[in-house]
């Protein structure tokens, strides 16, 4: 069981920073040991596959296929080498904008988009697997969808 799965649900856009302060930093050691994905003989767990699908529905137009980056937005395969889960979550929920003299780039806020937020941990698992070099490009082979995932999706999507 991955400790942070579902953690976003207790956060709301306005309360995010307070909530993060209450949760406190995740110990680095725990993050090192616990991988958010399982890949066995080239077959990924359902959640990681779900992340692949959601990524290519919601994020790839800006961030490029397979997390490799595009002309609009950075390569998340690179970002996740250093970006911790909490900060990933923060950017996805609230978005981010940088306006400069020559550059203007905008990451939209997805905090109220269930098609993203219900699967944000799947997105993280997929992108982390890509950034760790554990998963190649393209559509991965997947494990069947477990009952637990069905229940989770139903509960979240309503």
Which CA distances in Å does 39 have to 6, 17, 50, 111, 113? 21, 33, 14, 29, 28
CA–CA distance, 140 with 109 (Å, rounded to integer): 28
User: Binding string, 74-103, against ligand HEC, x = CB under 6 A?
Assistant: x-x--x---x----x--xx---x-x-----
The residue (of 42 and 100) whose beta carbon lies closer to ligand HEC is 100
Quick one: how far is CA 112 from the chain centroid?
15
CA–CA distance, 136 with 118 (Å, rounded to integer): 24
CA–CA distance, 88 with 71 (Å, rounded to integer): 20
108 lies in the binding site for ligand HEC (CB under 6 A): yes
* Min separation Cβ 148 and ligand HEC, Å: 23
| From candidates 10, 105, 114, 155, binder to ligand HEC by CB under 6 A | 105
Binding site for ligand HEC (CB under 6 A): 58-59, 61-63, 72-74, 76, 79, 83, 88, 91-92, 96, 98, 105-108, 110, 116, 123
């Amino acid at each position: 069981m991955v400790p942070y799965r579902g953690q976003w649900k207790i956060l709301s856009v306005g309360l995010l920073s307070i909530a993060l302060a209450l949760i406190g930093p995740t110990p680095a050691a725990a993050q090192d040991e616990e991988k958010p994905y399982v890949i066995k003989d080239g077959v990924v767990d359902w959640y990681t596959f779900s992340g692949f699908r959601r990524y290519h529905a919601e994020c790839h137009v800006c961030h490029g296929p397979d997390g490799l980056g595009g002309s609009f937005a950075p390569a998340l395969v690179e970002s996740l080498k250093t970006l911790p889960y909490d900060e990933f979550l923060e950017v996805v929920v609230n978005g981010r904008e940088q306006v400069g003299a020559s550059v203007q780039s905008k990451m939209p806020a997805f905090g109220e988009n269930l098609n993203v937020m219900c699967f944000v941990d799947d997105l993280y698992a997929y992108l982390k697997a890509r950034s760790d070099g554990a998963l190649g490009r393209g559509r991965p082979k997947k494990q069947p969808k477990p009952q637990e995932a069905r229940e989770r999706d139903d509960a979240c999507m309503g």
